């Protein structure tokens, strides 16, 4: 039902986005502008081994900034890693925190900034709007093209005690600077390139199809982490979908194709701007228990589930799905709207196969017996079911998992 109070929508992103080959060199001016004297780079050993930490240290040193490096990050970081990173940060007491890596390290940097600014344990910050105030300046520098964490207001950790991914969402988590330099993605291996790329598509599609801002059953101005689909977010999502259609298979087949790398870097940031305002929905809700239990990557889980959830949403979003088919490069001339919408689902299935994303839960080692538990956990993430254009019951979610099994 339309809520008459909700006639307006809003939009936020990183304080400033610096985009393009060589953009990381501008870190010197950024550090000067922030009056930074001591920066902490939060990263991992693979990023260090690829020589990317030096690319970040050089402009910082040119600006006279003392630099510490925490390289204990890991993919899909756990609470334990976050505790270590925060402890490290307390010891060196940086005035600026830099997340360098994929979504995992950028999220770890966000959580580290919260921990070093406000103290306490991550658990108290889980969910929406539980961060008490601004955090020390955050700069995010992605080395994958996918998560959009460089512009988003969320950070995701893995709760290994309860086998689920959990997030904290707050406007205080938007980085002051997002430095998106496609050259830093060149060394990203094939699998994280594919996984992150399909995550970007998932963000764009979920934002594009989300419950609309004026139909969200939450009054404007009340506390909810997303706005619902709105024209600005949808415009960004359309461009992101088009760019993924153009570049993702190409980049996975040729990791040195820098034009495709740049296209995907842009796609990921645009998709991040779209989803962190309009929302992500059931694909992400269903990925959290799946990824938590099966330890697949976020991108794999999302990519696998995406076409099945698109099919579930088709009756409510036929025209939008038909448009997605065209954006992905499908020839939809002469087709009915429903036929064109089906093409979008087929295109995503084909894309998954082309880049090596599993198409069945059993390929990830999941068992049929786990599915009811997954459905129970996914159904409980109310913010994500609310944003799903066709409201799912727990039984609907189980049916989608079974179809994807
Ligand atoms: N905060 C958000 O808005 C948001 C959004 C989506 C996903 N996420 C989170 O992001 C994480 C996934 O991030 P991701 O897909 O970017 O992968 P990732 O950060 O987990 O990186 C995957 C692997 O690739 C390596 N790698 C990355 N870039 C490299 C490079 N240029 N050269 C060499 N090695 C490189 C990393 O060291 C790591 O081992 C998940 O935890 C997910 O939940 C967060
Ligand atoms: Zn995601």
Among the bound ligands, the one closest to the CA of 81 = 1
Q: Is residue 2 assigned to a domain?
A: no
CA dihedral 242, 175, 275, 212 (to 10 degrees): -130
pLDDT of residue 373: 97
- Ligand 2 mean position to 202 CA, how many Å? 7
Q: Which residues surround ligand 2, an ion (CB under 5 A)?
A: 199
Residue with CA at minimum distance from ligand 1 atom 15 = 196
Q: Is residue 11 assigned to a domain?
A: no
Closest ligand 1 atom, CA of 77?
A: 41
Mean pLDDT of each 10-residue bin along the chain, 405 residues long:
72 98 98 98 98 98 98 96 97 98 98 96 92 98 98 95 90 98 98 98 98 89 90 98 98 98 99 98 96 94 98 98 98 98 98 98 97 97 93 98 98
Round to whole Å and give the CA distance between 230 and 341. 20
Q: Is 148 in the pocket of ligand 1 (CB under 6 A)?
A: yes
Domain boundary among 144, 160, 185: 185
Query: Computed from CA positions of residues 23, 25, 28, 31, in that sequence, does the dihedral angle turn out positive or negative?
Result: positive
Q: Which domain holds residue 107?
A: 16-185
Among the bound ligands, the one closest to the CA of 196 = 1
pLDDT of residue 207: 98
Report the half-sphere exposure of 103 (CA within 13 A, side-chain side).
29
178/214 same-domain check: no
Round to whole Å and give the CA distance between 299 and 189. 14
Residue with CA at minimum distance from ligand 1 atom 7 = 147
pLDDT of residue 69: 98
- Say which CATH number the domain at 35 has: 3.40.50.1970
Q: What DSSP element (H or E) covers 182?
A: none
Listing DSSP states for 26-64 in one string gives GHHHHHHHTT-SEEEEE-BHHHHHTTHHHHHHHHHHHTT
85/228 same-domain check: no
Q: Is 102 in the pocket of ligand 1 (CB under 6 A)?
A: yes
CA distances from 203 to 79, 119, 323, 369, 399 (A): 24, 31, 16, 29, 22
Q: Is residue 211 assigned to a domain?
A: yes
Q: Is residue 348 assigned to a domain?
A: yes
DSSP β-bridge partners for residue 101: 142
96/208 same-domain check: no
Q: Is 98 in the pocket of ligand 1 (CB under 6 A)?
A: no
Q: Work out how many domains the chain is built from and give that number.
A: 2
Q: Is 318 in the pocket of ligand 1 (CB under 6 A)?
A: no
Quick one: 145 exposed, middle or buried, by C-beta within 10 A (0-12, 13-18, 19+)?
Answer: buried
149/207 same-domain check: no
- Taking the CB of residue 278, how many other CB atoms lie within 10 A of it? 32
- Ligand 1 mean position to 76 CA, how many Å? 7
pLDDT of residue 234: 98
83/212 same-domain check: no
266/347 same-domain check: yes
**Ligand 1, pocket-test mutation among 14, 49, 103, 154, most atoms within 8 A of CB:** 103
Q: Is residue 41 assigned to a domain?
A: yes
172/216 same-domain check: no
User: Helix, strand, or coil here: 177?
Assistant: strand
Q: Is 103 in the pocket of ligand 1 (CB under 6 A)?
A: yes
162/211 same-domain check: no
Question: Is 307 within 8 Å of 348 (Cβ atoms)?
Answer: yes
Closest ligand 1 atom, CA of 153?
A: 3
Question: Is 55 within 8 Å of 98 (Cβ atoms)?
Answer: no
Question: Is 71 within 8 Å of 10 (Cβ atoms)?
Answer: no
Q: Which residues of 222-247 are buried (b: 16+ CB within 10 A; e: fewer)?
A: eebbbbbbbeebbebbbbbbbbbbbb
Domain boundary among 185, 212, 247: 185
Among the bound ligands, the one closest to the CA of 288 = 1
45/171 same-domain check: yes
- Say which CATH number the domain at 348 has: 1.20.1090.10
78/206 same-domain check: no
Q: Is residue 61 assigned to a domain?
A: yes
**Ligand 1, pocket-test mutation among 104, 113, 195, most atoms within 8 A of CB:** 104
- Ligand 1 mean position to 346 CA, how many Å? 27
Q: Is residue 3 assigned to a domain?
A: no
pTM over 0.95? The answer is: yes
- Ligand 1 mean position to 289 CA, how many Å? 18
**Ligand 1, pocket-test mutation among 298, 299, 300, 355, most atoms within 8 A of CB:** 298
Spatial neighbors of 286 by CB under 8 A, at least 6 apart, are 301, 305, 309, 374, 378, 397, 400, 401
Q: Is 156 in the pocket of ligand 1 (CB under 6 A)?
A: yes
Q: Is residue 50 assigned to a domain?
A: yes
Quick one: 4 exposed, middle or buried, by C-beta within 10 A (0-12, 13-18, 19+)?
Answer: exposed
Q: Is 112 in the pocket of ligand 1 (CB under 6 A)?
A: no
CA distances from 76 to 135, 188, 297, 371 (A): 22, 16, 7, 22
Domain boundary among 185, 210, 231: 185
Cα 125–Cα 394–Cα 312 angle in degrees, nearest 5: 105
Report the half-sphere exposure of 230 (CA within 13 A, side-chain side).
19
pLDDT of residue 4: 54
- Ligand 2 mean position to 86 CA, how many Å? 24
pLDDT of residue 5: 64
Closest ligand 1 atom, CA of 158?
A: 41
Spatial neighbors of 179 by CB under 8 A, at least 6 apart, are 18, 23, 24, 26, 27, 30, 139, 140, 141, 150
pLDDT of residue 198: 98
220/369 same-domain check: yes
236/349 same-domain check: yes
Closest ligand 1 atom, CA of 299?
A: 15
């Amino acid at each position: 039902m339309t809520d008459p109070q909700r006639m307006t929508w809003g939009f936020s992103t990183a304080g400033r986005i610096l985009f393009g080959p060589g953009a990381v060199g501008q870190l010197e001016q950024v550090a000067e502008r922030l009056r930074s004297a001591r920066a902490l780079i939060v990263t991992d050993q693979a990023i260090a081994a690829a020589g990317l930490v030096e690319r970040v240290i050089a402009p910082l040193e040119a600006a006279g900034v003392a630099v510490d490096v925490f390289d204990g990050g890991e993919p899909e970081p756990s609470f334990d890693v976050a505790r270590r990173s925060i402890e490290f940060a307390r010891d060196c007491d940086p005035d600026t925190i830099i997340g360098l890596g994929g979504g995992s390290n950028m999220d770890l940097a966000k959580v580290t900034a919260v921990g070093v600014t406000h103290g306490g344990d991550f658990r108290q910050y889980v969910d929406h709007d539980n961060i008490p105030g601004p955090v020390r300046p955050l700069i995010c520098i992605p080395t994958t093209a996918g998560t959009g964490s460089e512009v988003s207001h969320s950070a995701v950790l893995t709760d290994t005690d309860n086998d689920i991914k959990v997030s904290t969402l707050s406007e205080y988590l938007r980085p002051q600077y997002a430095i998106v330099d496609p050259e830093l993605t060149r060394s990203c291996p094939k699998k994280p390139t594919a996984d992150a790329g399909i995550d970007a598509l998932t963000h764009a599609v979920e934002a594009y199809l989300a419950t609309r801002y004026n139909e969200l059953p939450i009054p404007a101005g009340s506390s909810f982490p997303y706005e619902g689909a709105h024209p600005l977010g949808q415009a960004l999502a359309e461009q992101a979908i088009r760019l993924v259609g153009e570049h993702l298979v190409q980049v996975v087949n040729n990791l040195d194709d820098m034009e495709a790398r740049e296209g995907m870097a842009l796609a990921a940031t645009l998709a991040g701007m779209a989803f962190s305002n309009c929302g992500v929905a059931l694909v992400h809700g269903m990925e959290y228990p799946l990824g938590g239990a099966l330890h697949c990557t976020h991108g794999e889980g999302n990519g696998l589930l995406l076409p099945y959830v698109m099919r579930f949403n088709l009756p409510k979003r036929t025209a939008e799905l038909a448009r997605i088919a065209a954006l992905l490069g499908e020839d939809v001339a002469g087709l009915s709207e429903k036929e064109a919408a089906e093409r979008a689902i087929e295109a995503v299935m084909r894309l998954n196969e082309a880049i090596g994303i599993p198409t069945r839960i059993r390929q990830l080692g999941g068992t049929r017996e786990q599915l009811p538990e997954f459905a129970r956990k996914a159904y409980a993430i109310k913010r994500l079911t609310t944003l799903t254009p066709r409201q799912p019951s727990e039984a609907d979610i189980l049916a989608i998992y079974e179809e994807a099994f």
